[in-house]
Chain A
Amino acid sequence: MKKIKYLFATLALTAAITSCSNEDENPLVLEENPLADYTMLTSLTANGHDIEVYSDQDGFTMGYNELFIRIKDGTTDSYIKDAEITLMPVMQMAEMMHSCPKSEIYKTENASVYKGFVIFQMPGNADEYWELNLEYTINGETFKAAERIEVKAPADDKRTVTSFMGSDDIRYIVAMTAFDPGVKVNDFSAMVFKMENMMSFPAVENYKIAIDPRMPGMGNHSSPNNVDLIYDATSKMYNGKLSLTMTGYWKINLQLMNEADQVVKGETVTDENESSSLFFEIEF
């Protein structure tokens, strides 16, 4: 469908612009629809702006969400470039409120498209919900917008984020990044945050995440040639390799280790201990 739209747009544009435009580059088309392949999850209308939030997912989901944001000027119908945006998701609970790990929002190659991620450590429900707060500055003028959003538990109910108290009495959140598993050696990444307070979740650097993928349905079969996740300062993620020998349900047992190589959370999988208390789940 999207491809068809894209094609149609290309054709329409080519027809409309009778000049000798270079079709290979299609710069105009990209200008028109840079997020055509993504889903718009929500649109906030405030301050005469439409703030559109896109993702390659169908909705806000518990775990890692990569988000793309555009701000449309309601009067000119054009997208605003070079804005400064900060996101502050807040979970509104009965007794308290808290935020979640998130990245800075930065500009992409396309100056009117901004990108970042949010890691929801829990879904919303009937009484407790997430609110997406945005603060953005355009030409020195700062605006605010807020919208209640629906964050769902993953459709397959598989765990991709976990929040726990480490043996060092620090509360951590560990999350997988977006992952498209295959029967192969996969590049595999995760992020670690600590909860400084209800509203601040700074990234944890230079720890290590040991991984041990298992198939509980296959007598806890494991795979060879996995590489533990090591912190990479450039991507600010923990990167490693995850081998999956077949499709199906995999439990990725984890051990989080601090800079002194002490285990903060998780146990080694053995014949007696089939699973670590810290794990992700994958099913494909």
Chain B
Amino acid sequence: MKIKIMGSPHCTMLAGPKQLSLLFGMLCCLSLATHGHAQERKVEVEQDSVLPIDLLEVIVISSHKKKLEHNAHTKPLSTLDEYLEASQKVNMIKRGAYAWEPVLNDMSSERLAITIDGMHILGACTDKMDPITSYVDVSNLSEAHVSSGQQGAEYGNTIGGAIDLKVEKSNFRPTDWVGSVEMGGESGNNAQIIGGELNYSNERFYFDTDVIYRKSENYTAGGGEEVLFSQFEKYNVSANAGYKFSDDQKLSASIIFDEAQDVGYPALAMDVSLARAFIGSVSWLQNDFLGRFTDWETKLYANTITHIMDDTQRPSVPIHMDMPGWSDTYGYFSQTKWKNERHQVLLKLDGYYNRSLAEMTMYPNDPNENEMFMLTWPDVRTFNSGFYAGDVIQLKGSSIKLATRLTVQNFNVADEFGLNSLRIFYPEMAQHQTRFLKSVSAQYQTNLKSWHFNGGLSYGDRAPSVSEGFGFYLFNSFDNHDYIGDPDLKNEKALEGNAKIAFKKADFSLGLEGNYFHMTDYIIGEIDPILSVMTIGADGVKIYKNLENADLYNVSFDGEYKILPALKWWGVVSYHRGTDQEGRNLPFISPFAYGSNVRYSHKTFTGTLAMRGAGQQVNFNPEFGEDKTDAYTVFSLTLGKQFSFGLDELYVKLGVENIFDAYYSTYSDWKNIPRMGRNFFATVSYAIN
């Protein structure tokens, strides 16, 4: 399935409130009301003619195939988080307006492999305030590949799946010089967005640059309530270059610099004064390799992240603290393909070395007392080295994909101070440890006239994350507990089954899709009543433990109907459930959810009316800070029109999200912070040919 969310165009203008009115004046359209912020993204679903073997969802962020690539998307220049959220499979945990945490199959960061062009990047925040998706922007990316469960094993050790963000490159297309300027804004949070790119590309050489800057103030929830500390400011600069040594050999390099400042997290007690990433890579690509092996690609990469949490902007805190964190990763992968009539083999070697260090300094209310200092991540060095092999075997009218990943992962607690800290809890704890991880999967697909079937079985495991293994008094404001890692945790394992059956005719299609994860040694924090809280006001201390087992399943049913040649209806309902061996609800499991839209598309005009909602969160778990989140339904409307001026093209898009200004939050909103209320937005894009 291909979900086209939007393309970042060569030239987009998304106007801010002021610019908007000017622009609209000029365009003799619309006076803009104020307010709201968009929640709902509309998703245009395009069925590929052939159902892919992977249960893969591709979120198109920008494409070079069209001059105006983003016109399928409701809100160009929205954040990457909004793009991801628009996908059918990905949900986002929100702690504010910025740096949402992707959730796939009801699993988040530590159970997913999230990569950028195959590069591993690990966030530097102990409180998951910087998922790596926050260190790139739509200006950098062309698409996001979402693979469910062990289908994502190509990108790393995972349980829930993988999200690989593909960097946008001119890639030797003979486009010569291409430039654009983008400007935008939203009224609901006074967002201002300014971006631009300048690319040069020919068949031998390309050089791409882009820059984007965003600044938002506090947003307004439904009903007009201002959500304090939801502001953010960020900019992102990137450059890519490639050189062809011969038709067969290409060298390319990429660097992304991303910096966010003054990021508010309304759901948390702390904000972020700085989140900065340098992400760089060099790749070598050659079509011919050894014998029948082709498409040999080798990439070396490095990235470094600095994340500074502080609470100096908060008016009343029991104690002021700074919590900086650093994460540096160095890695590589090298992969090649092998093909004949029946087999398509991908072999990949990969590895990375990560250093995660985080500290906390608390400033006593009595200024004569010494600062309180602890290492919350004790300089954990992770060395992960893996081998992946996958083979797609063509059978008669069907195909089967077999894949495996084998990984060795070492942990080394490099800091003596941190090691001694953890040894308070685990006196016998070793400084080094080695784990072996494995994944095997088989996926079968077949087509029978109008019917498509896709099903698979797999097994995979993962090592504990740095926080789960080595975290030291990490405060989780959701359940109001301090968390302590356990270095002796067992690997978490998942046996997964998935199936999809689809029926497709020219005018309509139906699909039923489901997956089931039976997990053993599921890692989760459990209360230790003996321990004394560190964070003032916390309710208790939790230690990460292995649950005996846990079961998760996700089912969705979607349909599409072409009412008229220009009018299409689409709808989806989904159900999710997660429990442990005692039938206890797992946290962050979506309630019954649904979405639907009607899309009109005729010549240069498009319009979409969309609805999205969820039932009441019946299966919640107060132990993890959850409550019965209410049901909600929100609507949005967008209209787009394309104009031509000679070779240049102008595209205007107007929309309103949360039309009825509903005050609501979802199961994945941290501490029930409300989402944005009614939001008008407009986009003007200009492509210079």
Question: Is A219 within 8 A of B536, CB to CB?
Answer: yes
Contact partner of B373 (CB less than 8 A), chosen from A219, A223, A225, A246, is: A246
Question: Is B372 within 8 A of A217, CB to CB?
Answer: yes
B358 smallest CB distance to A (angstroms): 14
Contact partner of A217 (CB less than 8 A), chosen from B360, B366, B421, is: B366
- Which B residues lie within 8 Å of A104 (CB)? none
Contact partner of A184 (CB less than 8 A), chosen from B366, B369, B421, B531, is: B421
Which of B537-581 touch A at CB < 8 Å? 537
B425 contacts A by Cβ under 8 Å: yes
- Which A residues lie within 8 Å of B319 (CB)? 217-218
Question: Is A215 within 8 A of B372, CB to CB?
Answer: yes
- Which B residues lie within 8 Å of A185 (CB)? 420, 423-424, 427
- Which B residues lie within 8 Å of A246 (CB)? 360, 362, 372-374, 534
Interface size class of chain A, counting residues whose CB lies under 8 Å from the partner chain: 20 to 34
A143 contacts B by Cβ under 8 Å: no
B486 smallest CB distance to A (angstroms): 13
- Would you give the 0/1 interface string for B397-439, flagging 1 where the beta carbon is closer than 8 Å to chain A? 0000000000000000000010011011101000000000000
Question: Is A243 within 8 A of B424, CB to CB?
Answer: yes
Q: Who on chain A is nearest to B375 by CB?
A: A183
B104 smallest CB distance to A (angstroms): 35
Q: Who on chain A is nearest to B372 by CB?
A: A248
Given contact pairs A219-B537, A225-B425, A248 touches B362 in the complex (Cβ within 8 A): yes
Q: Who on chain A is nearest to B426 by CB?
A: A225
Which one of B360, B370, B423 has the highest number of Cβ atoms from chain A below 10 Å of its Cβ?
A: B370
- Which A residues lie within 8 Å of B534 (CB)? 218, 221, 245-246
Interface size class of chain B, counting residues whose CB lies under 8 Å from the partner chain: 20 to 34
B365 contacts A by Cβ under 8 Å: yes
- Would you give the 0/1 interface string for A232-270, flagging 1 where the beta carbon is closer than 8 Å to chain B? 000000000001111111000000000000000000000
- Which B residues lie within 8 Å of A224 (CB)? 424-425, 530-532
B473 contacts A by Cβ under 8 Å: yes
A8 contacts B by Cβ under 8 Å: no
Contact partner of B370 (CB less than 8 A), chosen from A218, A243, A245, A283, is: A283
Which one of A182, A183, A223, A225 has the highest number of Cβ atoms from chain B below 10 Å of its Cβ?
A: A183
Chain B binding surface, main DSSP class? loop
Question: Is B424 within 8 A of A223, CB to CB?
Answer: yes
B602 smallest CB distance to A (angstroms): 64
Q: Who on chain A is nearest to B484 by CB?
A: A224
A179 contacts B by Cβ under 8 Å: no
Question: Is B364 within 8 A of A248, CB to CB?
Answer: yes
B291 contacts A by Cβ under 8 Å: no
- Which A residues lie within 8 Å of B318 (CB)? 219
Question: Is B537 within 8 A of A183, CB to CB?
Answer: no
Given contact pairs A218-B362, A219-B536, A223-B532, A284 touches B370 in the complex (Cβ within 8 A): yes
- Which B residues lie within 8 Å of A182 (CB)? 417, 420
A45 contacts B by Cβ under 8 Å: no
Question: Is A219 within 8 A of B533, CB to CB?
Answer: yes
A222 contacts B by Cβ under 8 Å: yes
Question: Is B537 within 8 A of A283, CB to CB?
Answer: no
Which of B486-545 touch A at CB < 8 Å? 530-534, 536-537
B324 smallest CB distance to A (angstroms): 15
B248 contacts A by Cβ under 8 Å: no
**Cα(A217)–Cα(B530), bound, Å:** 20
Question: Is A221 within 8 A of B369, CB to CB?
Answer: no
B371 contacts A by Cβ under 8 Å: yes
A9 smallest CB distance to B (angstroms): 32
- Which B residues lie within 8 Å of A248 (CB)? 362, 364, 369-373
Given contact pairs A185-B427, A283-B370, A249 touches B364 in the complex (Cβ within 8 A): yes
- Which A residues lie within 8 Å of B473 (CB)? 245
Contact partner of B369 (CB less than 8 A), chosen from A183, A222, A225, A283, is: A283
**Cα(A283)–Cα(B531), bound, Å:** 22
Q: Who on chain B is nearest to A182 by CB?
A: B420
**Cα(A221)–Cα(B540), bound, Å:** 11
**Cα(A224)–Cα(B425), bound, Å:** 7
- Which B residues lie within 8 Å of A219 (CB)? 318, 533, 536-537
- Would you give the 0/1 interface string for A188-225, flagging 1 where the beta carbon is closer than 8 Å to chain B? 00000000000000000000000000010111111111
**Cα(A225)–Cα(B428), bound, Å:** 13
- Which A residues lie within 8 Å of B536 (CB)? 218-219
- Would you give the 0/1 interface string for B368-393, flagging 1 where the beta carbon is closer than 8 Å to chain A? 01111111000000000000000000
B603 smallest CB distance to A (angstroms): 66
- Which B residues lie within 8 Å of A225 (CB)? 424-425, 427
A155 smallest CB distance to B (angstroms): 12
- Which B residues lie within 8 Å of A244 (CB)? 424
Contact partner of A245 (CB less than 8 A), chosen from B421, B530, B537, is: B421
Given contacts A215-B372, A217-B366, A247-B370, 18 further A-B contacts (CB under 8 A): A182-B417, A183-B420, A185-B424, A185-B427, A218-B319, A218-B534, A219-B318, A220-B532, A221-B534, A223-B424, A224-B425, A244-B424, A246-B362, A246-B372, A246-B374, A247-B373, A248-B369, A249-B369
16 sampled A-B residue pairs with Cβ under 8 A? A183-B373, A185-B423, A218-B534, A219-B318, A219-B533, A224-B424, A224-B532, A225-B425, A225-B427, A246-B360, A246-B534, A247-B373, A248-B364, A248-B371, A249-B369, A283-B369
